[in-house]
Amino acid sequence: MATDKYDVVIVGAGPVGLMLSTCLSRWGYKIKHIDNRAEPTPTGRADGIQPRSLDLLRNMGLKRKIMEYEPAKVYEVAFWDPNSNGIHRTGTWASCPKFIDARHPFTTLLHQGMIERVFIEDIEKNGTQIQRPWTITGFKNDGADPAYPVEVNLSHVDGTHSEAVRAKYLFSGEGARSFVRDQLKIGIKYKDPIANVWGVMDGVVRTNFPDIKMKCTIHSDAGSIMVIPRENNMVRLYIQIASSTDKDWNPRKSATAEEVQEKAKNILKPYTISWDRVEWYSVYPIGQGIAERYTLDERVFMGGDACHTHSPKAGQGMNTAFLDAVNLAWKIHHVESGFAPRSLLSTYESERKLIAENLLDFDARYAKLFSARIPSAGEVAGASQANSQMEENEFIKTFKASCEFTSGYGVAYNPNTINWGPEHPAQHPLILPYEKGTALRTGRTLIPATVTRVVDANVVHLEQEIPMNGSYRVYVFGGSAQKTKSALRDLATHMANPTSFFSTFTHKDTSVDRYHEKHNPHSNFLSLCSIINSPRSGIEIDELLPEIFARYRDHVYADDVWDQRVPGAKAAAHAKMGLDEEKGGVVVVRPDGYVGVVVKLEEGAGTCEALNQYFAAVTGKKMGEERASL
């Protein structure tokens, strides 16, 4: 009997596994996806979606389905401290303050099961079924079949059935207790020496505590509690039951729901609280740790809680899981599509592990600073302002960095082949680094900008216009089209060269009718947008743009929408990116939304050459004149 073969075997249907499965199923991969639970999460567990993650979900067309569940939205965090009456509020802070340019400046709170269901529906629509309750019992990268080098053994949790399959990749999204990680003998490094036991309770309460619908951190003489509002009029309470700093520290210490409620009542005094019902209650010890490796062979990968565990305080678990999965998904896709060398896969660990480390380092530093003293009202106000005149003391700096981290916009990947930097093989003089004026930083998300789509005059969010389709996103900011006419024509001419970054991966099958294809008419390697500094009514696409750009007619935009952040700009999108409003520039964004490189738009071959150099490094192919002259 022939062994079944899959592109990827995914173990675990929590946030990381589901995100990976969704991306790869949409892009046409054959997936074996198992989970050892008989059903999706019924209640409780992770529930916080950060602003950046919401952008990502919107880019995947999933935000609306999430919002249908009417999640709670956290815009501010309140801090409460002990006083002679019990507790009092010391201040409230925006959870995503105005200095962060976010479309959705709030955290979305929704129970994990509902989020899982949104993904599962999408996965099933794309032909993958999650097999439950099945578990992994063994695997080896034996290379017996070079195309499908990994053998994976799976079995029903009751042991009645089992199967062996072969796969190109195996992914563990198993959570903190990972069979795969254990088998690979990969250790966990605990960054934060302090471990805690937490009690978590979701329920409907009656209380006169005024901030019950806000996220609150409450310190009282009776202990500490964290309040998080939830969908369906529920409230989640996190109560610290034990800490490794306690004298009698016992990581197995537990507490009943009634004990936790009693403790909450004491902490909240002088306010009262009682429970109409408890939907979910759990006690778990957690340490903040990171796996030493995310992969050993770039065939068997791990992500999410299997690689890094977080204190629930930061609300990061699901968000880092999503970003792990998206990071890996497009890299597997590009390698398997021939768009990138296998070495691209090494950037999964280097990029994502650094983020997890930064997050944990940061969390520890912040907690320490915070516990050391209570910030003054002035500091809080100052830290929340975009352009504070105040001197930035360490507290404010740390607070700002904290907001960036927890919102998800603080993710900054270091320079490597895909994130241009001073050491990058592409060193063309037209490459425009952050230091020389653009507001865009490689390895960070594209700055949001509102523009008008030319074909239908719809006012749209530029950064959302290309759906997450696995393609690089090339944004041609055309400046003033009168002034850049030659530069645009020259860029198009050189892009049409069969050895250019644009032409190298054009669709092989020319018999397919792509008339109605909006995003990938030429290739799946990239999608292209043009943004012109002009009122919409002044843009005649076919007259103004070279044919190659005009072909992406659904992605031609007028930069004519006023923006409060750059009130004096005529072309706000250009201005926000830090590009010359007259001369424009070209911005390359990775398939997962992070800026890869920024290039000046100039007459002649230079702009295309610079892009060829960047993409040559990215794809491992020779491109442009360099290749033509060989």
For residues 137 and 458, which CB has a smaller minimum distance to a second copy in the complex? 458
For residues 389 and 564, which CB has a smaller minimum distance to a second copy in the complex? 564
Q: How far apart are CA 483 and CA 503, in angstroms?
A: 26
For residues 144 and 457, which CB has a smaller minimum distance to a second copy in the complex? 457
In the complex, minimum distance from the CB of residue 63 to a second copy, in angstroms, rounded to a whole number: 10
Residue 79: count of CB within 10 angstroms of its CB? 18
Q: How far apart are CA 445 and CA 595, in angstroms?
A: 6
For residues 435 and 542, which CB has a smaller minimum distance to a second copy in the complex? 542
For residues 186 and 380, which CB has a smaller minimum distance to a second copy in the complex? 380
In the complex, minimum distance from the CB of residue 570 to a second copy, in angstroms, rounded to a whole number: 17
In the complex, minimum distance from the CB of residue 454 to a second copy, in angstroms, rounded to a whole number: 9
Strand pairing of 472-479 and 585-589? antiparallel
What is the binding site for a second copy (CB under 8 A)? 64-65, 67-68, 72-76, 91-92, 94, 106, 204, 206, 208, 210-214, 229, 233, 276, 452, 455-459, 515-516, 536-537, 540-542, 564
Burial-class residue 622 by CB neighbours within 10 Å (0-12, 13-18, 19+). middle
Strand pairing of 526-532 and 472-479? parallel
For residues 204 and 496, which CB has a smaller minimum distance to a second copy in the complex? 204
Q: How far apart are CA 118 and CA 36, in angstroms?
A: 19
For residues 232 and 245, which CB has a smaller minimum distance to a second copy in the complex? 232
Report which DSSP code applies to 361: H
Tokens 């009693």 map to which residue?
262
Report which DSSP code applies to 547: H
Sign of the alpha-carbon dihedral angle for 404, 408, 414, 417: negative
Q: Which residues pair with 557 in a beta bridge?
A: 453, 531
Decide if 547 contacts 445 (C-beta within 8 A).
no
In the complex, minimum distance from the CB of residue 203 to a second copy, in angstroms, rounded to a whole number: 13
CA Rg value for the chain:
26
For residues 140 and 213, which CB has a smaller minimum distance to a second copy in the complex? 213
In the complex, minimum distance from the CB of residue 458 to a second copy, in angstroms, rounded to a whole number: 5
Q: How far apart are CA 387 and CA 404, in angstroms?
A: 15
In the complex, minimum distance from the CB of residue 208 to a second copy, in angstroms, rounded to a whole number: 8
Residue 330: count of CB within 10 angstroms of its CB? 25
Q: Residue 425 is encoded by which pair of tokens?
A: 């093989």
Decide if 283 contacts 199 (C-beta within 8 A).
yes
In the complex, minimum distance from the CB of residue 76 to a second copy, in angstroms, rounded to a whole number: 4
Q: How far apart are CA 448 and CA 432, in angstroms?
A: 19
In the complex, minimum distance from the CB of residue 64 to a second copy, in angstroms, rounded to a whole number: 6
For residues 214 and 462, which CB has a smaller minimum distance to a second copy in the complex? 214
For residues 64 and 125, which CB has a smaller minimum distance to a second copy in the complex? 64
- Residue type present at position 536: R
Q: How far apart are CA 344 and CA 298, in angstroms?
A: 10
Q: How far apart are CA 296 and CA 292, in angstroms?
A: 10
For residues 106 and 399, which CB has a smaller minimum distance to a second copy in the complex? 106
CA proximity to 449, closest of 524, 362, 559: 559
In the complex, minimum distance from the CB of residue 184 to a second copy, in angstroms, rounded to a whole number: 42
Q: How far apart are CA 302 and CA 557, in angstroms?
A: 40
The CA-based angle 535-536-538, given to 5 degrees, is: 70
In the complex, minimum distance from the CB of residue 49 to a second copy, in angstroms, rounded to a whole number: 15
In the complex, minimum distance from the CB of residue 486 to a second copy, in angstroms, rounded to a whole number: 24
In the complex, minimum distance from the CB of residue 559 to a second copy, in angstroms, rounded to a whole number: 16
In the complex, minimum distance from the CB of residue 496 to a second copy, in angstroms, rounded to a whole number: 21
Decide if 500 contacts 624 (C-beta within 8 A).
yes
In the complex, minimum distance from the CB of residue 24 to a second copy, in angstroms, rounded to a whole number: 24
Residue 171: count of CB within 10 angstroms of its CB? 32
For residues 345 and 548, which CB has a smaller minimum distance to a second copy in the complex? 548
State in Å, rounded, how far the first CA of the chain is from the last one.
49
For residues 144 and 455, which CB has a smaller minimum distance to a second copy in the complex? 455
For residues 459 and 628, which CB has a smaller minimum distance to a second copy in the complex? 459
Burial-class residue 389 by CB neighbours within 10 Å (0-12, 13-18, 19+). exposed
CA-based max dimension of the chain = 81
CA proximity to 584, closest of 562, 559, 616: 559
Q: Residue 119 is encoded by which pair of tokens?
A: 């993904």
In the complex, minimum distance from the CB of residue 68 to a second copy, in angstroms, rounded to a whole number: 6
CA proximity to 109, closest of 45, 188, 36: 45
Which CA distances in Å does 360 have to 311, 316, 517? 9, 10, 43
For residues 253 and 518, which CB has a smaller minimum distance to a second copy in the complex? 518
Give the three-class secondary structure for 300: strand
